Amino acid sequence: MLPSQLTAGSFAKYPPEARQLATEHIALLRRLPLAFLPLLLRELIVYDWKFPAERTELNRQFRYLGALADAPFQIPTLGAYFGFDARFSSGKPVVEVA
C-alpha cells in the first residue's frame, strides 16, 4: 500500500489512542516518503503502551512534520547526494579520455 492510499479504515485494528492520532494526521501520513512511513507507523501502533515522555516525543514529531510545507516531501536523488551531474542520469554511457 502506498502512503497516498491510506484511509481511516487502514488504522481500524490500531489501539484507540493510536487510531485517533493516526486519523487526526492522516493527511500528513499520506504525504510521507515510503521509506519513512513504516518507521513512524511502527512507533504509532504501540502509542497506547508508551510512557508519557515517549508519547510526547511522538506528538512532537507529528507537530514538526505537520509544520513543514504542505508540498510533498522531496527525496533527493543519489546523484544529487553524491554530487553527480546530469550526464550520469541521462542513461547514456559516459567515457572521458584524458
Q: What is the pLDDT of residues 36-91, one digit of tens each?
A: 999 999 999 999 999 999 999 999 999 999 988 676 666 666 566 666 555 555 55
Q: Residue 1 pLDDT more than 90?
A: no
C-alpha cell at 53: 515522555
Q: Which amino acid is at 61?
A: Q
Residue type, 1: M
Of 76, 72, 78, 77, the closest CA to residue 37 belongs to 72
Kindly state the DSSP code that residue 74 receives in the 8-state scheme: P
- This model's pTM is above 0.85: no
Q: How many CB atoms lie within 10 A of CB 31?
A: 18
3-state secondary structure of 52: helix
Look at 3 and 85; give whichever has higher pLDDT: 3
Confidence band, pLDDT 50/70/90 cuts, at residue 8: very high
- Domain map of the chain by residue range? 3-89
